């Protein structure tokens, strides 16, 4: 479905980002993984078993993101798909959260996503179009205790996606967002059993999602199957908070 297309995934060395990279590679894409840990980015790219590149990138830095995209174009000749997935958590209640914890999460998620969206769109609009996929979260729809920073950032990504989509739709650049729910990753499986059970009780499908189930939706958005969709938000949550 993506044969001959170049796809860049930030935060692609592990978790959902890696699952997206794997799915894209399996569907013929030339994959570029950007990650804060350059060694892990290169290791992840090598493990795909296809033509892929791993690049160190701090998404908060527009220079880093520009370099990442330049490497993709220089290596593979185009930029067709951009997935803004990089993120961190610094959970704490408002009473205990520091300004640094708030700023760090907003910077990585929201500024990082803005950097990736605007720079990728700048390249794509000159080359006839492309698809940009931004990772939000159900936390951006509902708001969770201890996540005023994360929920604000993830809600902001939805607004950013819709505003940016309107700016570049006439140039063939599509921008959509995905809101994952409880997905089984190393990070979520490390949470206390009580917290896991509480989240599970909120899911009508009565199970956590797998990273591959987010990746398949990203594949849909990256491919021609979603050619008439832009500015949309896909909730991949098992029905949680529908």
Distance CA 114, CA 96 (A): 28
Whether residue 67 contacts residue 57, with contact meaning beta carbons closer than 8 Å, is answered with yes
Residue with tokens 């201890």: 146
Quick check: is 228 catalytic?
no
Distance CA 131, CA 129 (A): 7
Residue in 18, 150, 221, 241 annotated catalytic:
150
SS3 state of residue 59 = coil
Whether residue 158 contacts residue 233, with contact meaning beta carbons closer than 8 Å, is answered with yes
Structure tokens at 172: 């063939």
* CB-based burial label for 92 (10 Å; 0-12, 13-18, 19+): middle
- Compute CA distances 144 → 45, 89, 148, 233, whole Å: 34, 12, 7, 19
Q: Which residues are catalytic?
A: 150
């Amino acid at each position: 479905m993506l044969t001959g297309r170049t796809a860049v995934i930030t935060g692609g060395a592990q978790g959902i980002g890696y699952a997206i990279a794997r799915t894209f590679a399996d569907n013929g894409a030339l994959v570029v993984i950007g990650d804060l840990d350059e060694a892990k980015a290169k290791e992840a790219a090598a493990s795909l078993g296809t033509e892929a590149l791993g690049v160190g990138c701090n998404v908060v830095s527009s220079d880093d993101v520009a370099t990442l995209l330049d490497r993709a174009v220089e290596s593979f000749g185009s930029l067709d798909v951009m997935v803004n997935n990089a993120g961190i958590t610094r959970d704490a209640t408002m009473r205990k959260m520091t300004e640094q914890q708030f700023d760090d999460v907003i910077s990585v998620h929201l500024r990082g996503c803005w950097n990736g969206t605007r720079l990728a769109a700048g390249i794509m609009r000159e080359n006839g179009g492309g698809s940009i996929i931004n990772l939000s979260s159900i936390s951006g729809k509902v708001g969770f205790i201890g996540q005023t920073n994360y929920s604000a950032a993830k809600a902001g990504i939805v607004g950013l996606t819709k505003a940016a989509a309107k700016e570049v739709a006439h140039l063939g650049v599509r921008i959509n967002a995905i809101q994952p729910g409880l997905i089984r990753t190393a990070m979520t499986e490390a949470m206390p059993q009580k917290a896991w059970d509480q989240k599970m009780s909120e899911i009508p499908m009565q199970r956590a999602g797998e990273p591959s189930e987010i990746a398949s939706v990203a594949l849909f958005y990256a491919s021609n199957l979603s050619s008439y969709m832009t500015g949309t938000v896909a909730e991949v949550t098992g029905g949680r908070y529908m």
